[in-house]
Structure 1
Amino acid sequence: MLPRIAPLLRAALVFVAASLYAAPIKVTIVSDDPAAVKSLADELHAAGAIVTEAARPRDVLAATHEKDEVIVLYRKDYTPYEVRDRAALADLSNRGVNFVAVRGAIAGPSASWAKDTFGAGWTPESRRFRALMMLNIRTDAHPLAKDASTFDVTDQTVFNLELNEKILVLAASFTSKVSANRKNIAEVSDKASVYDIQPQAWVFENSRLRSAVFLQGEAETLAHASYRTFIKRGIAWAARRTNVDELCTPKDLVDMRYPVGGPSRAEKAIAAFQMQPGFKAGVVVTEPLINKPIAVQWDERGRLWVAESPEYPNGRRPLTAESWREGGVLVPGSYDRPAQDKISVLVDTDGDGVADKKQIFHEGLELITGFCHYKDGVIVVCQPHIVWLRDTDGDGKADKEVVLYGGFTPGDTHFVANHFVMAPDGWVYASNGGGGEVFPLSNPERKVRLSSGTFRFKPDGSAIEQIASQGGNSFGNEVTSKMELYHGKATNGNPIQHVVLPESILAKAPGTPAKAFSSVNPRRPVLRTDLPDRAPLLQIDQVGYYTAACSVAVQEHGAWPDAYRDTIFITEPILDIIHFEKLTPSGPTFLGEVTIKDREWLRSMDHWFCPIDVSFGPDGALYVLDFYTPVVAHNDTRGPLHSKSGASVRPDREHYFGRIYRIQHESAKKFEIPDLAKADVAGLVAAFDHPNKVVRFNALRVLMDKDAGLLASAVGPLVTKGAQ
């Protein structure tokens, strides 16, 4: 008999359990400002919760409270409750009632009781200030923060609470504590700094109860859809529901990823672009299909390849601070794991111009900063080496890693080698942001000293050498059809550098005043005049000039109107701009001429816009790689705490967003993009006359990949023809 009863009993228990969890959540809202919480109460009612309201904690003592019931405490002012109300809260907590505390409720109870019940207590040293704040969400750190994003809101930032070490922080913000050396911290009353970061929302649990705390609560904040969703999730979690979204609508959950005051969808972000007449921007690809694009290349078939670096900036380095303070680690606490940077081919299956699929060529590298095509794969720079990823069986996935050069292990992860270009002379040219000794794996004893500037290497791993050196972080690299070399200089106020003579030539003339580099636009001020004034978003060095110049791209005889012929583009991500200048010959070098005097070529009004790279594609359009993040600066000379990657410790570093945009002129010439993978030698030679540099360089590369002697025999007649 018992064996037959057991299944029935189990079924009955399952039914009872399901009935219990199907029961409405009981919520009591205790508020000294009913108007402030009205919209929350209405949404809870609409979601099926049983909601009662009261003005004081003592008013709810007489009712019977179940263990899974939740009391929402909202207090407009940061003042203590009366003694009777403090006693009522203690009584309720002893019954195991759960709490959601909003705004000034943190200051209502005694500090010791609140620390043990809410996870933090208000003390005489606690402070707050009102300003436009960045509420930095720890995305996916807890079910309450699932798919949530950071956003701006004007409200009180609260700090110097007495914290319980067992809280799990959901959101944090910069406080007004300031200090150049972090030892003698003073306080500014009305604005955030970058020196101190403290929790603004968290969950806490002990043996008796659960509490969720949200320190912001002005009317504008409570009207914010994502913030109300946080509170509704907090209520469901405190009620011990398995599904924390039980009280949320589908729209609530969509708004969490793209909240008002935070990141926008790519299509909406384009609407924030201020561009020159005649140009139109479109989305090529966006998250979640890609994350943090750092470099692109087009192969001989015209396909767009992208390198993604969600590992930036820390990679697998351990945290310096708590994970809610330091957002630079992709997987906090997990360092002995495969890296997650990848290289993929983007695919547009429906022909609408937007990639909807990607074929991952390789995943597992750490901190990729550049790559180029070579034979049956790609050559990639990542930490700690330059590696050739080969696809030996032609299935579209790398199956062999060949390390070519070692020594690429900078302590600071933005002083790195970057932007590979396979040039017509058979060398790969690159920019370098730092220094160090590197070596070919084929001959580790042959050390080569690289420094900031331009270097090159043989793709077969046989040779590597410095071309031109110049102090300062270099990011961005360009090789033109005439073998003119440029790189971007991020931090010294001289954003575009041109290689005049290689150092190997200068070494033959000791004492010469000539230099390897010449600045194309020395001390060029930016044209944007309304510079950021919030401390987390400020330019740090070279204010009003270029302090984070990234990428250089030359528009040769391409698809755009003649006015853009021989122009050079560079980005300034901190200021959300793309700048261009006309290149004019000046002796052995070039100078930049600003042809638009009153505005930048492109300015985004969205401070999340982070144009990390620009490249011209085989169709003649400009492709913009947008890291899309609220923070651009890597290290910070103002003196906040820094991580093991040399990046300042900040909670607003994130690893999810990333887009590629295509900007084309309305009168652009239409180019036929040949499939060079199917071309014979004659077809490859014919491609040398193609108007687009990407196509020409790919034709040369494919010939070189086939046979160097074949290339020489093919190029010979062209050289003879050109000399006639």
Structure 2
Amino acid sequence: MKRPSPALFAAWLATLNLCISRAADEAKPAVGLASLRVPPGFTVELAAGPERAPYGMAGAFDDRGRLFVAESSGKNIKGKDMPQFPECRIRLLEDLNGDGVFERSGIFADKLSLPMGVLWHQGQLFVASPPDFVRFADRNDDGVADERQVLLTGWKVLNTASLHGPYLGPDGWLYLTHGRHGYRITTKEGELLEGLASRIWRCRPDGAQLERVCGGGFDNPVELIFTAAGQMIGTMTYFTDPQNGQRDALMHWVEGGVYGKWHESVAEFKHTGELLPPMTRFARIAPAGLMQYRGASFGLAYQGNLFSAQFNPHRIQRHRLFTDGATFRTEDEDFLSSTDPDFHPCDVLEDADGSLLVIDTGGWYIDACPLSRVHKPEVQGGIYRIRRRDAPPLEDPRGRRLDWQQADPTQLAQRLADPRPVVRDRAQELLVAAGEKAVPALAQLRRQHTSPDVRCAAIWALSRIGAPAAQAQVRLALQDDHVQAQIAAAHAVGMARDRSAGPALIALLQHPAPAVRLAAATALGQLGEANASAALLAAAAQATDRFLEHAITYALIKLRDAPAAVTALRSASAKTRKAAL
């Protein structure tokens, strides 16, 4: 057999090497932006690379469109050591030319333990940095915080299943979440709150009136969103120990609710029956950030949808939200996915133009994560932007060209119906600040506007104003012909402890919508309305699901009307007897 010439052999070897090289390139997994997939009709682009946002965990915009990002140091410091080695920070990003890319990046605040939540509200930045809840201010507007105040402290730290938030409720309260690692907090009023269980918390923006909303034996509640009517939904881990492919969930959080999993700490609660169930069940996905889409750029089918950031499966999921009795259910699908094993989305939020931002923390985190076992601080994260390809440009998305200085309450009230969410939010804050002068315009908007969401916004503004004339209008909204508005009004009068609303709330216990009955029962318990016992016990007989049963029973527990409960033990209805017990 004739040997090939050296030239032919060299050519053959070069071709072989080229094929091997191409095969290796094809087998090499895509990383970063190249690894991301979104549905047809959408695009994804880099908004901030690792040089500007290397280890982001949570984000929030201020009213100027600047993005604050809670950022890790990239080190896996054990939770208990975090307060002793505060190396994390808050980063401030700015898009200087409106192209969707953040060109400027700086440090707004540093020397934090592990900041797991940021919120811009009333010109200040609020941060959960366990064991502390902190408020920052930048008085000279140089992009660096010059005031730092610990509003509350005492949430214990073990790992990232600790303090998250805060999240602004439509009622004007700040809500926080905390994992099952214990707390010992002295409130501003001098009360000692102590326990072990996971909790949902709320307080005023100055840290006053801290109270526990609900909780249970689960490990780690993270982000909260509020529907237009004020119903609270959140992400969490470990509603059960891993079994049958399940562990984590989306939850519908309700006043006084006790949720799984079973743990000795659930003994801290007043129980109304079985533990409340999850809304949406997941596997071991470690859901973190959560948002509800409010804009119009993605189209009508997306309005009101939830989006969750899921750490372990490297994805953002879309959840269509549906009313299901007194609670909700979802239909779920992947919206953004990645083949990069080091892509770990921790938060998802909506920008003013209706695009979505996804914050990827990178590969640094392994502490307390059963699926991330290799510490990779060299694999830094970034921020990605998702747009709808055919969405028309949104003119002036932040309403900067509107005359805010001269706008009267009637004009501001009309802006609660503006298609731009940022404009609606700014108008809401200005109406609240206007106080009683805004009541007539808000009352008219609530009566006449056709949108339930707009009516709810008017109710929340009235409730936050809180003056007698405003509160009277909120009570009238209990008779609104929109279910959402009635739910919002019931929540508002309950939070205000408005005893004058008692008769109207009792009447709502017969409402055909279970969610309205739940809101009315909750409010009656908050009011301590003694005359409501008989109506609540009668309503128990018609309870259609576990959430409504809980709300009625929890209200009865708070009323402490023993004679009425004893009488109800002879009721023909087993549901009424159960509530009485």
TM-score (norm: length of structure 2): 0.62
Is 1:429 paired with 2:429? Answer: no
Distance 2:76 2:227 in 1: 30
What is the match of residue 385 of structure 1? 132
Provide the residue aligned with 1:663 in structure 2. Answer: 386
In structure 1, how many angstroms separate the alpha carbons of the residues matched to 2:120 and 2:429?
8
Match of 1:718 among 422, 445, 449: 445
SS of the residue corresponding to residue 128 of structure 2 reads strand
Q: What is the DSSP-based 3-state SS (H/G/I as helix, E as strand, rest coil) of the residue aligned with 1:291? A: coil
Instruction: Report deviation, 1:713.
Output: 6.7
Aligned length: 409
2:398 corresponds to: 673
Aligned pair 1:465/2:191, yes or no?
no
User: How do 1:149-228 residues align onto structure 2 when only pairs under 5 Å count?
Assistant: none
Quote the residue 1:588 is aligned against: 326
Aligned partners of 2:435 and 2:428: how far apart in 1? 10
Cα displacement string for residues 233-272 of structure 1 (whole angstroms, at most 9, x for unaligned residues): xxxxxxxxxxxxxxxxxxxxxxxxxxx96995xxxx2221
2:344 is aligned with 1:610: yes
Tell me which amino acid in the other structure corresponds to 2:425. Answer: F
Counterpart in 2 of 1:414? 160
Aligned 1:118-129 pairs, distance under 5 A: none
For residue 425 of structure 2, the aligned residue among 672, 697, 704 is 697
The one of 635, 652, 658 aligned to 2:368:
635
Indicate how the Cα distance of structure 1 residues 518 and 315 shifts in structure 2: closer, same or farther if over 3 A, else same: same
2:307 corresponds to 1:554: no
Counterpart-to-counterpart distance in 1, 2:77 and 2:190: 27
CA deviations on 1:639-693 (whole Å, 9 max, x unpaired) are xxxxxxxxx9x65242771211111111335433213997235465443223344
Residue 222 of structure 2 is aligned to residue 475 of structure 1: yes
State the match for 2:35 in structure 1: 272
- In the alignment, the residues of structure 2 paired with residue 456 and residue 695 of structure 1 have an alpha-carbon distance, to the nearest angstrom, of 26
Q: Deviations over 1:25-54 (max 9, x none)?
A: xxxxxxxxxxxxxxxxxxxxxxxxxxxxxx
Gaps of 5+ in 1: 1-218, 224-259, 319-328, 330-334, 525-544, 639-647
Query: Corresponding residue for 1:304?
Result: 67
1:403 lines up with 2:166 in the alignment: no
How many angstroms does 1:396 deviate by? 3.7
Distance 1:388 1:708 in 2: 25
Q: Which segments of 5 or more consecutive residues in structure 2 lack a partner in the other structure? A: 1-16, 22-26, 240-245, 260-268, 449-454, 456-479, 482-581
Moved more, 433-442 or 416-425: 433-442
Query: Using the alignment, how far apart are the partners of 1:424 and 1:582 within structure 2?
Result: 21
Contact 1:300 1:677 in 2 (8 A): no
1:518-570, Cα deviation, whole Å (9 max, x unpaired): 42223x4xxxxxxxxxxxxxxxxxxxx23412222222453212332332222
The 3 A distance-change label for structure 1 pair 402 and 500 is closer
Residue aligned with 2:192, SS: coil
Secondary structure of the 2:33 match is: helix
Alignment correspondent of 1:521: 280
The structure-2 alpha-carbon separation of the partners of 1:413 and 1:263, relative to structure 1 and needing over 3 Å to count, comes to: farther
Structure 1 residues 702 and 371: CA distance shift in structure 2, 3 A: farther
SS at match of 1:519: coil
671-680 vs 559-568, which deviates more? 671-680
Post-superposition Cα deviations, 1:132-154, rounded to whole Å, max 9, x if no partner, equal xxxxxxxxxxxxxxxxxxxxxxx
Query: Aligned AA for 1:675?
Result: R
Whether 1:497 and 2:235 are equivalent positions in the alignment is no
Structure 1 residue 299, shift from structure 2 partner: 1.6
- The answer to whether structure 1 residue 292 and structure 2 residue 20 are counterparts is no
For residue 712 of structure 1, report the CA deviation from its aligned partner. Answer: 5.6
Structure 2 residue identity aligned to 1:414: T
Looking at structure 2, the residues matched to 677 and 460 of structure 1 have their Cα atoms a distance apart, in angstroms, of 30
CA 611–633 in structure 1, closer or farther in 2 if over 3 Å, else same: same
Q: CA deviation at 1:709?
A: 5.3
Q: CA deviation at 1:609?
A: 0.7
Q: 1:468 to 1:417 in 2, by over 3 A?
A: same
Report runs of 4+ in structure 1 exceeding 6 Å deviation.
Answer: 260-263, 315-318
- Bigger share in helix: 2
Q: CA deviation at 1:312?
A: 5.3
Judged with a 3 Å threshold, the aligned counterparts in structure 2 of structure 1 residues 710 and 373 are, in CA distance, closer, same or farther, namely farther
Distance, in Å, in 2 between the alignment partners of 1:590 and 1:316 is 34
Q: CA deviation at 1:369?
A: 0.4
For residues 50-69 of structure 1, the C-alpha deviation after alignment (integer angstroms, 9 at most, x for no partner) is xxxxxxxxxxxxxxxxxxxx
- Cα displacement (A) at 1:505: 12
- From 311, 316, 323, give the equivalent of 1:573: 311
How far does residue 433 in structure 1 lie from its aligned partner after superposition?
A: 2.4
Alignment match, 1:687: 415
The structure-2 alpha-carbon separation of the partners of 1:301 and 1:505, relative to structure 1 and needing over 3 Å to count, comes to: same
How far apart are residue 624 of structure 1 and its match?
0.6
Q: Is 1:621 paired with 2:359?
A: no
Letter in 1 for 2:152: Y
Amino acid at match of 1:679: W
The CA deviation string for residues 56-115 of structure 1, in whole angstroms up to 9 with x for no partner, is xxxxxxxxxxxxxxxxxxxxxxxxxxxxxxxxxxxxxxxxxxxxxxxxxxxxxxxxxxxx
Aligned Cα root-mean-square deviation (Å): 3.7
The 3-state SS of whatever aligns with 1:563 is helix
Structure exhibiting the larger radius of gyration computed from Cα positions: 1
Q: Residue 310 of structure 1 contacts residue 656 of structure 1 at CA under 8 Å; is this kept in 2? A: no
Distance verdict in 2 for CA 1:451–1:690, change over 3 Å: farther
Distance 1:574 1:711 in 2: 47
Is the contact between residue 300 and residue 699 of structure 1 (CA under 8 Å) also seen in structure 2?
Answer: no
Conserved 8 A contact 1:424-1:697: no
